[in-house]
Amino acid sequence: MPSELALPPLSLNTATVREQWNLAQMIEACARHGIPGISPWRDKLAELGADRAAAMIRDHGLTVTGLCRGGMFPALDAAGRRAAIDDNLRAIDDAATIGARCLVLVCGGLPAGSRDLAGARAMVHDGIATILEHAREAGMPLAIEPLHPMYAADRCCINTLAQALDLCDAIDAEGVAPRADGQPAALGVAVDAYHVWWDPNLDAGLARAGAHRLLAYHICDWLVETRDLLLDRGMLGDGVIDLAALGQRVRGAGYSGFDEVEILSRHWWSQDPDTVLSTICERHLGCVGKPLL
């Protein structure tokens, strides 16, 4: 007899309705639609202010599943790299202020004019290593988000889960094994369906990460007829990712957190935002809450 798959809690990544609402409106809408989690982007957080946002989020009973984003470490010169470090330290503090479960790191691509991919990856390593102690002191786990290889040049030169975990192991040796107290590692990964669904080595990476390094799980869909590789991500169920199966794989590896919906889409940004959230809730039930045999 089939049994119902327990539906994971939803979180709204604010990029999904960034063109329609400010953060205060997003917080209120999550509560109104029964979405228990939220993951702000830093531009929206800066508009409202971290202290005020923390109070609003707390008053509305929401869980902050992450703050987007830190990272962007590679730069042409030492001054640029130092500026990135300083920005990430501020991001850690803001994430702690709002009670985020992690700070998501989109690590950065090639500096302007550069073709040195290995050099960019080395700068990512050094940048994360530099900020990790501050993150530890703040109690703020850092989540490296590997992005699809199409973004290697401009947004993120860390492109597979295995690469992200190699960084974790190299920088945070303490996090290789789970902590005795069951708390997450200081450095882990954010797994985004859009970026990893194609990876033939994904299951090995998920098993290697385990519950202690799996800090966030983002979902949207991959449209075969994609019109824009950044801003045409699909609503749940509109594309080719088997989100039910992928979610089971992620949770089978030990992840027990929220399904964070992050849809960067000019189409969905042009829609009524309440309709967007209603559609997300309906599709999450339909795409993820499928019965298991």
User: Tens of pLDDT along 55-109?
Assistant: 999 999 999 999 999 999 999 999 999 999 999 999 999 999 999 999 999 999 9
Q: What is the pLDDT of residue 293?
A: 35
Question: Which residue's structure tokens are 């290593």?
Answer: 129
Alpha carbon distances (Å) from 26 to 15, 68, 128, 221 = 10, 15, 30, 22
Q: Is residue 130 part of a domain?
A: yes
Tell me, yes or no, whether 29 lies in a domain: no
Q: Which CATH number characterizes residue 77's domain?
A: 3.20.20.150
Tokens of 142: 């850092």
Contact 241, 195 (CB under 8 A): no
Taking all residues of the chain, what is their mean pLDDT, rounded to a whole number? 95
Instruction: Classify residue 292: in a domain, yes or no.
Output: no
**Do residues 161 and 199 lie in contact, with contact meaning Cβ atoms separated by under 8 Å?**
yes
**Euclidean distance between the first and the last CA atom of the chain, given in angstroms as a whole number:** 7
Is a pLDDT exceeding 50 seen at residue 227? yes
Confidence of residue 50 (pLDDT cuts 50, 70, 90): very high
Percent with pLDDT over 90 in the chain: 94
CA distance 248 to 113: 42
Asked if residues 251 and 207 have their Cβ atoms less than 8 Å apart, the reply is no
Query: Is residue 237, in this structure, part of any structural domain at all?
Result: no
Paired tokens of 191: 């797994």
Q: pTM of whole model > 0.85?
A: yes
Does 210 reside within a domain? yes
Task: State the pLDDT at residue 41.
Answer: 98
Q: Within 13 Å of residue 254, how many CA atoms lie on the same side as its CB?
A: 17
15, 41 contact by CB (below 8 A): yes
> Token pair of 123, please?
């700068």
Give mean pLDDT, residues 250-258: 97
User: How large a percentage of the chain has pLDDT more than 70?
Assistant: 97
User: Which residue intervals of 72-158 are DSSP H helices?
Assistant: 78-97, 117-138
Question: According to the model, what pLDDT value does residue 187 have?
Answer: 98
Residue 5's pLDDT band (cuts 50, 70, 90): low
* The pLDDT value given to residue 291: 47
Q: If pLDDT is split at 50, 70 and 90, which confidence band does 3 have?
A: very low
CB 185 within 8 A of CB 165: no
Q: Give dist(CA 165, CA 215) in Å, integer.
A: 12
Nearest to 163 by CA among 124, 133, 127, 115: 124
Tokens 């983002």 identify what position? 218
Band (2; pLDDT cuts 50, 70, 90): very low
What DSSP state is assigned to residue 14? G
Of the pLDDT bands very low, low, confident and very high (cuts 50, 70, 90), residue 7 is: confident
For 266, how many CA atoms within 13 A lie in the half-sphere containing its CB? 7
Is 65 within the bounds of a domain? Answer: yes
Kindly state the tokens that stand for 77: 């010169």
Instruction: Count Cβ atoms below 10 Å from residue 128 Cβ, excluding itself.
Output: 26
DSSP letter string, 230-257: TTBPBPTTSSS--HHHHHHHHHHTT--S
Q: If phi over 0 gives left and psi between -120 and 50 gives alpha, with beta otherwise, what is residue 86?
A: alpha
- Owning domain of residue 183: 38-220+244-258
- The candidate with the shortest Cα–Cα distance to 280, out of 248, 231, 234, is 234
The answer to whether position 122 is within a domain reads yes
pLDDT the model gives residue 288: 87
The tally of domains found in the chain comes to 1
Query: What average pLDDT does the segment 139-153 reach?
Result: 98
pLDDT at 4: 47
Residue 19 counted as domain residue: no
Residue of 7 and 282 predicted with greater confidence: 282
pLDDT in the model for residue 290: 61
Cβ pair 144, 158 in contact under 8 A: yes
Q: For 145-170, what is the HEC assignment?
A: CCCCHHHCCCCECCCCHHHHHHHHHH
Distance between CA atoms of residues 15 and 99, nearest Å: 19
